[in-house]
Structure 1
């Protein structure tokens, strides 16, 4: 990947109290040695808040870089099955990449610095690439959440992964997974499971992942399943006044906030006229913000201030005419970079100052 320009430029007046820097042009390009560059299919940031990100292309090329400098870290490597989703964790002090690859959805772990596969695959019965996310446990444990072809959602403690992991739910392989840390440090996950096997939208569930490994307790589902009838295809998690709030994007071109305790929407939808294919939640200027992007409007990104439910303008516009395939943001308890995958690039959209 090529380093970003060294001089970020400021877009004044993005929103009161939300100073944001934007980087022009390309910054992190997947450095494939042969053939034409292929689109970035998956993108993730470090679950523990470290300034690291990982991207993978449709051909399975994987690269890790430093989000502060844009410098690549370690050696590029490839998942021969092709990579559909990625996650980035830290195990025994060393960054580790998790990939879900190929139509069989094999979940593998790799050393992020030298590209070595770590141990046997966690599973070879997963879905074809749709759902994978890492989290930092309340006691510092690195966690991984993934979907499986047998219809389950599973959780692994990466410091000592058990074969098969712990089963969170068995309502079908999720089409989306996201994680976040509560203000008190507890890790949570949101999963989106299709209501019908033929659909790419469905029902959202919220999980508390904080049960310590030594107690043998299973993660708990919080509240009630939500989102039925809203055509939800992806979800993320925010915390308003310390309480969890689920943010969803649906094929009905609406972004919604939900109370997981009641499974009811909070106020009117945050409607995006061009829809929202990718969704992330982070903090900008100390405030929780939802970031959305649409493949129907290349280069267009929308930001919503979640406490007020208002869109922030002007929003960043990427300098590339490629549709945005994925968004990633630093853990929601921290202020940090927002990244977008567009064409063969992984581009920093913003970083708080």
Structure 2
């Protein structure tokens, strides 16, 4: 396993710790960082089958990504989620996690986690746990192996199941993320809930996001989670709870199973009022909002100097422009995607 050598500033050069507060008084304490736009699947709601990925020269090195994450942590970020694409296909990723674990050991970072499709978990779970990863989100939209192949185009259901087993065997808590797709998996939601809770995992349902050209019409995929929740309530007793993980989901307790059901609803129940998140792409572009195009280039200041002064100034200026919220719309009359970039580029 390769190990990244972290950049350690001399005490006199260390930037003062200060929190990141946006124009609406929200503290930004949660950073999602994409380490690659590449993936070993081609999910039908996420990307086209014939994807054109970014040239490697445009991608930040893992050392640069480590320095970037550390800069945000110095500004008060407490939760760091590593995303992609599929983050575990990036060469050297275990060393990256091991390096970032120093912030857990110091107490500066409270949680280091990742979102994955599960395909590589069997190989990496033990070392991720050793690096301090205690929780992962696994994207899984069906329990039917044949349908799984159709949705992911390239995915191997049994490989993902081995990954889930390996993660839980390593002591990592698993949350299943299921994108609700009308006419595709909407008839499986109750079964998915029972299966996830039966193996001690939470389930979170997600409304399809209007990002990127995917060769399909999103309006036909879109299932409002108000509808899914209504269907589930006919079978289960659902009780709102105050559980929070730092993300956008609101949670319900399922009385029959004792497990939690999360709902991420960018369309039907805007969650922007309490947004504490920003995203950085694998090219070093900072998006202050998933549903807005305004961004800041962090790669240039990162590479301009060995000092983090300019990088931190750029981060602070970007947070001062964080918008109040997004305006996602899925409409059959609007054929192009609302935002041109793919979710795999922004980070899942």
- For the criterion TM > 0.5, the same-fold answer is no
Higher relative contact order (CA 8 A, sep 6+): 2
Higher strand share: 1
| Larger CA Rg, structure 1 vs 2 | 2
Normalised by the length of structure 2, the TM-score is 0.31
